């Protein structure tokens, strides 16, 4: 399976959310990075993501770079299986959010209490959308 | 029997075994208890059967303190048969067991008895309000229990309220015919007590002075007097009754009026995006609903006051931004469900928290006077840093638990560094100004609600609460009123 075909397949499997974006973001990443970018691209379609993502970037300007955000998100996750899909990465992300809430590794973004990884994911979505 | 006091001959003197001052929930509950008991019981109510603007004017006073409020004394109280149940929402819930405890981190806390002592009276009070009894043996009292928002062993507890169908004036209607028919309980309307007159020694109330707005005046003599006038008026009348004791009755140690508390209320303290298509209210029906509170053990460990956050999902409009954020969160967390129009659910978070006892928060007498010539009440409601820390930290605990349990996300509308938010108010629950304590240096009434130093004077109502938890006070007011009625019957050698 070619890389683009694989991504389109995993996107469709991740909930039928109408993913059509296979952006420049995916093109320069592979492995878990690509799957996280793909998830962020899907989220970028939601207007509410801009509210959260932009607020996080405004209060954390030192992270206002796509690669910085992506590295922080991927670095927080356990390594996915080589054949991991978008669905698998979402599960890893959601588990990580829960762990961060348990560890009180949270941040207030526009008043919303989010896990750091979750907030960075919204910020990554904004970063991708704006690029 | 119910009589308009304005029709009595001027200067009439009424003799009774018991005189209950005030026909609110406490006064009516006690009057029912005395019905057909053989003793003659006189109930004096300042208002009439329906609201009267000129009587309501007697509620005016001066309001100051931490939060600026206009006309609070006027707007938050009803002088009418039924008292403030005329504008009561019907919310019923007992205090928690921890609310009765002496807590090392809450100065002046601790009741003279534990909750288990009050539980039988809560059961009887439930009958007065026609609600299900809160069974102290079950986790949250009701059978069958509604859905718990979180599990049962988490830092955030689900607390259940019941709504009495006797809300908004129906309480008075429900019980008026019984008192109308009673042969030994006599209710006098439009009869405002202006002073309690004691013997020269100041230790027995010998006469109750009553005034009507039309100028008529009469007096009542009773073996036992029970003040049930509401959380502010109870203290005000003790202070006004200073003919023999210059500081007022029961006020040898300057406690009357102090420790005044309200439940601190913050409307719209936050929003909840709840990752479930089913309403949290579905399992509770029309007459009960859940709220979230902090588990007692965590309150102890974190040194917090009691607290609840209500989840208001009905008749609430959420902003476009909140809904947009909700959809974004839903899309990430439940990608297969987020297109469901009922998903996620949105709730407005309304906080109602315990206030710590504070001697500087108080009811005093103003220099201004009412239409009967008595000094008006001056209310100085003072909040403390402890009160604010409890709200901020408790909301964060709830928000965090939402994330741990993966049930949703919470937005809090104020920051850690903020002062009290603009929407902060009291919940119109007036408590603590004649607090209960076995030591007369620390309380106005003893464990039987008798005023320290006065042999025949008792106080009923939320003004006797030493601490207040988060639960709306009316059920506890009536539970304690029933307990007091039993006590006075014993004094009269009437079998309970």
Residue of A nearest to B320 (CA): A48
More confident of the two residues B336 and A66: A66
CB contact under 8 A, B321 and A122: no
Task: For residue A14, give the nearest of B270, B335, B402 by CB distance.
Answer: B335
Chain A from 41 to 100: CB within 8 A of any B CB? 42-43, 46-49, 51-52, 90, 93-94, 97-98, 100
What percentage of chain A has pLDDT greater than the value 90?
65
Residue of B nearest to A36 (CA): B332
Predicted confidence band of residue A84 (pLDDT cuts 50, 70, 90): confident
| B23 touches A at CB < 8 Å | no
Contacts of A110 in chain B (CB under 8 A): 325, 411
Token pair in block for residue A10: 């995993």
Predicted confidence band of residue A6 (pLDDT cuts 50, 70, 90): very low
pLDDT value, residue B285: 78
Any residues with CB less than 8 A from the CB of B299 and at least 6 apart, and which? Answer: B98, B305, B306
Cβ-based contacts under 8 A for chains A and B: 82
CB contact under 8 A, B321 and A98: no
Convert B87-104 to b/e letters by CB count within 10 Å (16 or more is b): bbebbbbbbbebbbbebe
Identify the bridge partners of residue B346 per DSSP, sorted by sequence position: B273
DSSP conformation letters of B170-196: HHHHHHHHHHHH-SSEEEEES-EEEEE
CB contact under 8 A, A14 and B331: no
Within B5-154, strands assigned E span 13-21, 41-44, 62-65, 91-92
| B1 touches A at CB < 8 Å | no
Token pair in block for residue B335: 């990608």
* Number of continuous H segments (helices) and E segments (strands) in chain B: 10, 19
Task: For residue B328, give the nearest of A17, A46, A90 by CB distance.
Answer: A46
* Average pLDDT score over residue span A63-74: 96
Closest CA to B306 of B258, B352, B271, B268: B352
Residue of A nearest to B270 (CA): A111
User: What is the domain extent for residue A79?
Assistant: 3-130
pLDDT value, residue A21: 37
Contacts of A102 in chain B (CB under 8 A): 404
| B77 touches A at CB < 8 Å | no
Structurally, chain A folds into a number of domains equal to 1
User: Coil, strand, or helix at residue A125?
Assistant: helix
Alpha-carbon distance values, B473 to B126, B159, B162, B468 (Å): 13, 15, 13, 8
CB contact under 8 A, B413 and A111: yes
* Average pLDDT score over residue span A47-73: 97
Residue B33's φ and ψ, nearest 5 degrees, are -65, -35
Any residues with CB less than 8 A from the CB of B3 and at least 6 apart, and which? Answer: B186, B187, B188, B189
| B409 touches A at CB < 8 Å | yes
**CB contact at 8 A, A57 and A63:** yes
Identify the bridge partners of residue B156 per DSSP, sorted by sequence position: B294
Q: How far apart are CA B349 and CA B292, in angstroms?
A: 10
Per-residue pLDDT of chain B (496 residues; tens, 9 = 90+): 999 999 999 999 999 999 999 999 999 999 999 998 999 999 999 999 999 999 999 999 999 999 888 899 999 999 999 999 999 999 999 999 999 999 999 999 999 999 999 999 999 999 999 999 987 666 565 544 445 677 667 899 888 899 999 999 999 999 999 999 999 999 999 999 999 999 999 999 999 999 999 999 999 999 999 999 999 999 999 999 999 999 999 999 999 999 999 999 999 999 999 998 888 777 777 888 889 999 999 999 999 999 999 998 877 889 999 999 999 999 999 988 888 888 999 999 999 999 999 999 999 999 999 999 999 999 999 999 999 999 999 999 999 999 999 999 999 998 877 789 989 999 999 999 999 999 999 999 999 999 999 999 999 999 999 999 999 999 999 999 999 999 999 999 987 6
Mutation target vs B (from A85, A111, A125; most B CBs, 10 A cutoff): A111
Q: How far apart are CA B453 and CA A63, in angstroms?
A: 69
User: With 60 as the cut, is the pLDDT of residue A77 above it?
Assistant: yes
CB contact under 8 A, B332 and A17: no
User: With 90 as the cut, is the pLDDT of residue A16 above it?
Assistant: no
**CB contact at 8 A, B346 and B318:** yes
């Amino acid at each position: 399976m070619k890389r683009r075909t694989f991504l389109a397949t995993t996107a469709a499997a991740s909930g039928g959310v109408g993913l059509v974006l296979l952006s420049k973001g995916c093109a320069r990443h592979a492995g878990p990075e690509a799957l996280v970018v793909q998830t962020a691209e899907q989220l970028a379609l939601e207007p509410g993501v801009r509210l959260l993502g932009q607020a996080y970037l405004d209060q954390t300007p030192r992270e206002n770079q796509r690669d910085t955000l992506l590295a922080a998100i991927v670095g927080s996750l356990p390594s996915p299986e080589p054949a991991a899909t978008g669905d698998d990465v979402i599960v890893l992300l959601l588990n990580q959010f829960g762990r961060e809430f348990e560890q009180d590794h949270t941040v207030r973004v526009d008043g919303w209490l989010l896990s750091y990884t979750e907030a960075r994911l919204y910020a990554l979505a904004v970063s991708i959308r704006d690029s | 029997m119910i009589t308009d006091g304005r029709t009595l001959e001027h200067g009439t003197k009424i003799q009774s075994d018991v005189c209950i001052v005030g026909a609110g929930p406490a006064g009516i509950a006690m009057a029912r208890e005395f019905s057909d008991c053989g003793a003659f019981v006189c109930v004096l109510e300042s208002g009439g059967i329906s609201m009267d603007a000129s009587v309501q004017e007697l509620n005016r006073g001066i309001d100051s303190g931490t939060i600026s409020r206009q006309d609070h004394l006027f707007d938050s109280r009803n002088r009418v048969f039924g008292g403030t149940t005329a504008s009561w929402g019907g919310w019923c819930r007992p205090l928690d067991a921890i609310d009765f405890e002496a807590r090392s981190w809450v100065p002046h806390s601790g009741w003279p008895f534990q909750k288990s002592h009050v539980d039988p009276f809560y059961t009887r009070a439930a009958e007065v309000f026609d609600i299900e009894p809160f069974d102290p043996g079950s986790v949250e009292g009701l059978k069958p229990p509604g859905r718990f928002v979180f599990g049962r062993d988490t830092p955030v507890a689900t607390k259940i309220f019941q709504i009495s169908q006797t809300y908004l004036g129906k309480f008075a209607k429900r019980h008026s015919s019984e008192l109308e028919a009673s042969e030994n309980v006599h209710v006098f309307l439009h009869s405002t007590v202006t002073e309690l007159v004691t013997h020269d020694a100041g230790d027995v109330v010998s006469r109750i002075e009553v005034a009507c707005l039309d100028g008529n005046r009469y007096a009542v003599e009773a073996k036992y007097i029970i003040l049930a006038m509401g959380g502010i008026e109870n203290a005000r009348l003790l202070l006004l009754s200073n003919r023999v004791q210059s500081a007022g009755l029961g006020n040898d140690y300057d406690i009357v009026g102090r420790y005044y508390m309200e439940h601190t209320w913050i409307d719209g303290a936050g929003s909840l995006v709840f990752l479930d298509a089913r309403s949290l209210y579905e399992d509770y029906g029309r007459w009960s609903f859940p709220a979230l509170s902090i588990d007692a053990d965590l309150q102890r460990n974190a040194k917090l006051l009691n607290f609840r956050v209500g989840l208001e999902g009905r008749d609430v409009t959420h902003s476009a931004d909140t809904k947009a954020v909700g959809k974004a969160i839903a899309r990430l967390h439940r990608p297969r469900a987020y297109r469901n129009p009922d998903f996620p659910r949105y709730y407005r978070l309304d906080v109602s928290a315990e206030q710590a006892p504070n001697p500087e928060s108080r009811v005093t007498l103003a220099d201004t006077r009412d239409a009967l010539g008595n000094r008006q009440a001056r209310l100085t409601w003072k909040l403390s840093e402890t009160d604010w820390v409890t709200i901020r930290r408790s909301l964060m605990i709830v928000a965090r638990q939402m994330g741990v349990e993966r049930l949703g996300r919470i937005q809090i509308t104020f920051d850690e560094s903020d002062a009290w938010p603009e929407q902060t108010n009291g919940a119109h629950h007036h408590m603590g100004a004649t607090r209960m304590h076995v030591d007369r240096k620390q309380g106005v009434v003893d464990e039987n609600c008798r005023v320290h130093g006065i042999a025949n004077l008792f106080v009923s109502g939320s003004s006797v609460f030493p601490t207040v938890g988060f639960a709306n006070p009316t059920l506890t007011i009536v539970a304690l009123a029933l307990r007091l009625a039993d006590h006075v019957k014993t004094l009269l050698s009437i079998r309970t």
